[in-house]
Amino acid sequence: MNFLVSVIVPCYNQVQYLPETLESVLLQTYRNWECIIVNDGSPDNTEEIAKLYCNKDNRFKYIYKENGGLSSARNSGIKSSIGEYILPLDSDDLIGEEYIEKAIQHFQVYPETKLVYCKASFFGNKVGEWKLADYNYSELLFGNMIFCSALYKRADYDKTSYYNENLILGFEDWDFWLTLLNEEDQIYRIPEICFFYRTKDHSMLSSLSEQSAMQLRIKIYDNHKEKFEKYIPNLIWLNPELTRQHDYILSLEKEIKRIQLSKAYRLGKFILKPFSFLPNVYRAKGN
């Protein structure tokens, strides 16, 4: 089946990046999409650029709303969409030409999949692969490892309470994934870089103080209290120092696993194996 995919592009004071973002949608190898550009009350010439693309290709659609923040703009775009699948895309980021095609191919083969995303890369002030942790539901409670531009079914969105419009300062993606996903859901990450995250000198998240970030974390806990209390009874993630220790332990575990899988480690273990009986011999002699 040739599913219709709705790409949702909220825009507020990002018009200088908008053409590049829309071009990345236009270049998709998967052709059955609509792209809804949501002008979130932006004071720049977002409308002018959006309408240029609407005139160029009728798959682009434009809506205007009073400024309400990123979550509000996404919800407005999704509610006006008609696609079976949703792909949020911020107006300064890019998607690879085959991203939608590869995601829909996976959904077609594995229709029980709840969400598909991919590997990602930075561009702009910082370049290189964005090395996100592998998806794990319990780890999602500690922090987000899925960027906003993942594909999911519109029918699943309709079962949620939508993107939280009270999270004006950030973390709205993390909150929504906790709303959308449950432990038993099947999540798939395309093993190729198909998403490109623009880095700038200043961003909403980079300007957050530790106190503001903690307040957002507490709001997310309040929004998903049952899930947190089920999986993290002690809620150590609310303490920044304990969270850092948790992240450090995880990094050590990964490094140990990497060493254990290395050829040098396995070779050394093989060489030393004949001598493993010696401690037992010495103990026997001691007796």
**pLDDT above 70 coverage of the chain, percent:** 80
Q: Note the pLDDT tens digit of each residue in 161-193.
A: 999 998 877 789 999 999 999 999 999 999 999
**Per-residue pLDDT, 287:** 46
What residues contact 105, with CB distance under 8 A and at least 6 apart?
none
Tokens representing residue 247 in the block: 């992240």
What residues contact 37, with CB distance under 8 A and at least 6 apart?
9, 11, 18, 22, 46, 50, 53, 54, 60, 61, 62, 63, 91
One-character DSSP codes across 27-53: T-S---EEEEEEEES-SSSHHHHHHHH
Give domain limits for the chain.
5-238, 242-286
Q: Note the pLDDT tens digit of each residue in 131-156.
A: 999 999 988 988 899 999 999 999 99
Query: Does CATH place domain 5-238 in 3.90.550.10?
Result: yes
User: Smallest Cα–Cα separation from 174: which of 152, 146, 153?
Assistant: 146
Tokens representing residue 164 in the block: 């939280």
Alpha-carbon span 144 to 159, nearest angstrom: 21
